[in-house]
Amino acid sequence: MSRRILLADHSPHAQRMGERILRDEGYEVATVTDGETALLRLKDLAPDVILADISLPGRNGYEVCEYVKTSGKYPQTRVVLTAGPVTAYDETRAQAVGGDGFVRKPFEASALLNTVQPLVERPEGQPASNAAVTPAPKPAVTPQAAVAPKPVPAAAPLPPAAPAAPRPIDREQVRAAVILALEASMITMIENITDKVVVALEADARATTPEAPTLAKAATAPAQQPATPVAALARPVESKPVAAPAPPDEPVVRVRTPVFRTLS
């Protein structure tokens, strides 16, 4: 009996957890990261069960399940849909495409195995038994026995049940759950921040668009000289006295001219 399982999940942490749980139980596990690759591996792997995440890129888990159930090529293949801790699961759509089960991530070993094992180990085409069942003869009841039945002894009280031992905490499983939760919250945070940045940029663009023609007109207009007041034009121009040239530094020779007197 084959025990092949195809695990289709885009999260490496979910792949690692699911593969470890299933391999420990002896299953042969192949992993893919998108729906298109999952359909390609169907041809050479022919798995007994497909674990398909409903958020797969390419083709999601619903589409993978619908293909497997309607193609007619894989009548023995079962499809179990999976989803993250905060991803909405459409049960109506899962029933419409013929899903065989659903498991929530992060994978818990008992929940995953309880879902997969019945699908892998269930015999196919087992006919119901048609053998007639002969009832056993009833013992004869005497009148004395009917009148005086034997007393039934009282049942002894059961001892109190011992408390169940606490299960050990799987650190790897807790780590995977934290990583999956952070991945889901990070996607929501990125979307919110992107929306706010786009709104801010659009508001800034609307605020600066009307000023663009004014700035262009101011850049192309010729520079104008400031107007001269009329009073400044009518004001008389005051003339300043011109200073006499400075005497030369050379010595001046004075010539005395003789005076001639005329005698009568």
Which pLDDT belongs to residue 251?
Answer: 54
Q: Letter for the amino acid at 108? A: E
Higher per-residue pLDDT: 102 or 153:
102
Query: Does residue 250 carry a pLDDT above 60?
Result: no
Domain count, the chain: 1
| 35 within some domain | yes
| 32 within some domain | yes
Residue 198: pLDDT band (50, 70, 90) is confident
| 108 within some domain | yes
Q: Which domain holds residue 85?
A: 4-121
| 154 within some domain | no
How far is 165 from 198, CA to CA, in rounded Å?
55
| 106 within some domain | yes
How far is 84 from 206, CA to CA, in rounded Å?
41
| 256 within some domain | no
Sequence-distant (≥ 6) Cβ neighbours of residue 216 within 8 angstroms:
none
> Which CATH number do you get for residue 63?
3.40.50.2300
Which pLDDT belongs to residue 43?
Answer: 86
The C-alpha torsion from 80 through 86 and 92 to 96, rounded to 10°, is: -40
| pLDDT tens, position by position, 52-92 | 999 999 899 999 999 999 988 899 899 999 999 999 999 99
| 41 within some domain | yes
| 82 within some domain | yes
Which pLDDT belongs to residue 153?
Answer: 57
| 1-10, 30-39, 102-111, 148-157: range with lowest mean pLDDT | 148-157
Sequence-distant (≥ 6) Cβ neighbours of residue 99 within 8 angstroms:
62, 65, 79, 80, 81
Residue 96: pLDDT band (50, 70, 90) is very high
On whether the CB atoms of residues 184 and 86 are closer than 8 A, the answer is yes
**Strand-pair partners of 31:** 7
Strands, sheet with 4-8, edge to edge from the N-terminal-most edge strand: 28-32, 4-8, 49-53, 78-83, 101-104
